[in-house]
Amino acid sequence: MILPAHSSPQPSQAPLLEARGLSRRFGAVTALDALDFTGRSGEVHAVTGANGAGKSTLMNLITGVHTPSAGEIRIDGKPVHFVSPAQARAAGISAVYQELTVLPGLTVAENIWLGSEPRTRWGLLDRQALFTRTAQLLAQYRLPLDPEQVAGTMSVAARQVVEIARALSASARILTLDEPTAVLSAAERARLFDIVVTLKGRGMLILFVSHRLDEVFEISDQVTVLRNGRLVVSTARPGLDRAALVRHMVGHEVDERTTVKPHVPAPGSAIELQVRAAGAMVKLRIAPGEIVGLGGLVGAGRTRIARRIAGLEPKVTVDVRIGERRFTIRSAADAIRHGIVYVTEDRKRDGLFSGISVLRNASATSLAEISKLGFADIGKERRLVEPLLSRLKVVAASARAPVRSLSGGNQQKVLFARALLARPVLLICDEPTRGVDVGSREDIYRLIEALAQQNVAILLVASDLKELLALCHRVLVVRDAEVVAAFGPNASEHAIVAAASQRAAVQAP
């Protein structure tokens, strides 16, 4: 049975959600320190801050993933104590995480009602009731989903809507969205924001966690900034300007560059790539020190091309020519041996060994260099890795700390350290600033620019068009895993979007 839609928010004495003196400690580390927080019905409340500020810890306390070390949480003015996410869901709090939990082999309907499926009198799944209930829910909230579609055939954006529908199926009053637009196109982001506005109008409190400041200003009513586990400011968004928000996040002034002045690539033997897969061929040419971007809509095949060049997809052959050198890549080992190094878009799933140290994660592709008779020389490893971690400004309790204890931005820097230790000739960066704060993003921009000045060729995959136009000498537009247009450094966002969406057959130098 579908519950009635939430009515428009009404003024009340108590806010929907409160945190009073909320703290959380992990051993000797204080992740959240005596935080006061308020969220009201019918509000989009952005929670932002640099990596490691305490945003995820706050969300995990609200949703029952962790329990507070001190302080309390109140719903409608009444104290609550959650020891599991199930208890938080029962109280009307649901979460959509950056790493989606949709099961690819199940339908939309099965994913939405997983664990609470309608049953017949004999205890069997009532499929007719399942799909009827799902259709009612989707119609009620105007969610653009097909109840019978298998989730594994859907885009990331559509799977994210499935997660939201699952939250609504539990009659959620509070919804947390953690970096919800990280891999969405502009059109998909607009669709998601339309849904958020609808939910807000029905009286829900949306806690919107994001590093993307444009989105914070576009969608939020209230903004709370955390730094080092403490509250810096909580204010109505109309009273906040961008420069002040950045200053609150990082603790000092930051010059947010919209354009990185690219240097002129050095003359030399260009890297020529012929990527052959399933009868199709993609040809690329990148000069030493040149930054070439791959743009296009989500699902266009940009990452597929990048992974193929890096030897990460089976039954793919990459013929490479650098001057008089010719070689073929059929595996990741081949690519790394020849200096073609890939920094993945999904550091948690494909990039990091979460249970081992920062040091060993950084040296993972250089074990042969630091090993003797099959054993790692720890002293040599530290001499090789630690100066690079320092250069990249990696913040960690120590190089021996598990990499999972680092913030997202610092984890990304560890991946870059690993890539640099492999001495790349061609560095492939796939969404390198995904989920990192404005300060870490600037550090990564500077690193990419510095590598280009050292004659490293760089292939950059990015969904953020401003990022592509700021960094790249050329932007190649990808559609259906093929390059369909090319633009120089003075291209416009409009032209790139038009080429990506087939609205125009644009070709430029």
List Cα–Cα distances, 397 to 134, 226, 387, 410, in angstroms.
47, 20, 16, 12
DSSP 374-442: TEE-HHHHHHHHHHHHHHTT---S-TTSBGGGS-HHHHHHHHHHHHHHT--SEEEEESTTTT--HHHHH
Is residue 121 one of the residues assigned to a domain? no
Give the model confidence (pLDDT) of 129-139 as tens digits: 999 999 998 88
> Residue 174: pLDDT above 50?
yes
> Could you give the CA distance from residue 256 to residue 446 in angstroms, rounded to a whole number?
12
Query: Do 432 and 483 belong together in one domain?
Result: yes
> Residue 259: pLDDT above 60?
no
The per-residue pLDDT of the chain, averaged, comes to 83
Predicted confidence at residue 266, as pLDDT, reads: 65
Predicted confidence at residue 502, as pLDDT, reads: 60
423: left (phi over 0), alpha (psi -120 to 50) or beta: left
Classified as helix, coil or strand, 317 is strand
> Residue 6: pLDDT above 80?
no
Supply the range of the domain harboring residue 274: 256-339+424-509
Longest dimension (CA), the chain: 76
Give the model confidence (pLDDT) of 466-481 as tens digits: 888 888 999 999 888 8
> Residue 508: pLDDT above 80?
no
Is residue 142 one of the residues assigned to a domain? no
Query: Do 465 and 418 belong together in one domain?
Result: no
Return the CATH number at 504. 3.40.50.300
Mean pLDDT of 324-338: 90
Mean pLDDT of 265-294: 85
Is residue 113 one of the residues assigned to a domain? no
List Cα–Cα distances, 393 to 386, 390, 405, 434, 439, in angstroms.
10, 5, 16, 18, 11
Query: Do 500 and 371 belong together in one domain?
Result: no
Query: Do 371 and 311 belong together in one domain?
Result: no
Is residue 11 one of the residues assigned to a domain? no
Query: Do 237 and 270 belong together in one domain?
Result: no
> Residue 201: pLDDT above 70?
yes
Give the model confidence (pLDDT) of 48-57 as tens digits: 887 678 888 8
Predicted confidence at residue 426, as pLDDT, reads: 93
Is residue 214 one of the residues assigned to a domain? yes
> Residue 12: pLDDT above 80?
no
Predicted confidence at residue 31, as pLDDT, reads: 87
* Phi, then psi, of 389 in degrees rounded to 5: -60, -40
> Residue 69: pLDDT above 90?
yes
Predicted confidence at residue 11, as pLDDT, reads: 43
Beta strand 222-227 with 43-48: parallel, antiparallel or unpaired? parallel
Contact 248, 233 (CB under 8 A): yes
Predicted confidence at residue 421, as pLDDT, reads: 87
Query: Do 446 and 487 belong together in one domain?
Result: yes
Mean pLDDT of 248-272: 67
Query: Do 178 and 88 belong together in one domain?
Result: yes
Query: Do 397 and 492 belong together in one domain?
Result: no
Token pair of 167, please?
A: 């939250």
The angle subtended at Cα 180 by Cα 16 and Cα 242, nearest 5°, is 80
| Cα–chain center distance at 71 | 30
Query: Do 75 and 181 belong together in one domain?
Result: yes
Mean pLDDT of 447-475: 89
> Residue 504: pLDDT above 60?
no
> Could you give the CA distance from residue 403 to residue 355 in angstroms, rounded to a whole number?
7
For the chain, give the percent of residues with pLDDT over 70.
91
Between 83-97, 266-280, 316-330, the lowest mean confidence (pLDDT) is in 266-280
Count of alpha carbons within 13 angstroms of residue 253, beta-carbon side: 1
Identity of the amino acid at 87: Q
Mean pLDDT of 192-207: 90
Mean pLDDT of 377-406: 84
Predicted confidence at residue 70, as pLDDT, reads: 94
| Cα–chain center distance at 473 | 25
Is residue 165 one of the residues assigned to a domain? no
Query: Do 318 and 260 belong together in one domain?
Result: yes
**End position of a domain, from candidates 368, 396, 422:** 422
Contact 112, 169 (CB under 8 A): yes
List Cα–Cα distances, 71 to 85, 110, 205, in angstroms.
18, 38, 21
Query: Do 364 and 434 belong together in one domain?
Result: no
Token pair of 226, please?
A: 């955390």
Predicted confidence at residue 298, as pLDDT, reads: 67
Mean pLDDT of 74-82: 92
Higher pLDDT, 481 or 299: 481
Higher pLDDT, 106 or 298: 106
